Amino acid sequence: HHCLELLAKSLLDLVAQGIVKEADVDSFNLPIYLPYKEKVVEIVEKEGSFEIKQLQLFVMDTDPLSKDEKVRNKEFYMKMGNNIANTFRDGLEPILCCHFGDAILDELFRKFALHVADDPNSSMHQ
């Protein structure tokens, strides 16, 4: 997942600033499993408690604006970066807090929002 790579980049920024120890980043493990649609169907059918009548994936344009439009719409991308950072923070804060402590969280997600806003592959994110 591309946004998780940007979160890792944000953690490494904090290492470069001396805020986080590199060993702490190296020892951090975030187990994520992102199955294909077919695998979800297989697991649900095998388990047997549910029947899938419809399963639809949504594909989003990952680069809706041209480079010139991005420059003119920097505020839009910053707002989007902040929204995505807040969404990730909602889900990951307890895990990150347990491993790194809560003192780094504001700066970590500020940097993450900037990386999301600046990254051409994370617009309208995957």
Evaluated on CA atoms 103, 6, 124, 77, the torsion sign reads positive
- CA 75 to chain CA mean position, Å: 20
Residue 101 identity (one-letter amino acid): G
State in Å, rounded, how far the first CA of the chain is from the last one.
Answer: 7
pLDDT tens sequence for the chain (126 residues): 788 999 999 999 999 999 999 999 999 998 888 889 999 999 999 999 999 999 988 765 555 556 666 666 778 888 888 999 999 999 999 999 999 999 999 999 999 999 998 886 654 433
Q: For the domain made up of 2-33+61-118, give the CATH fold.
A: 1.10.1200
Q: What is the dihedral of CA 53, 88, 79, 116, to 10 degrees?
A: -100
Domain ranges of the chain: 2-33+61-118
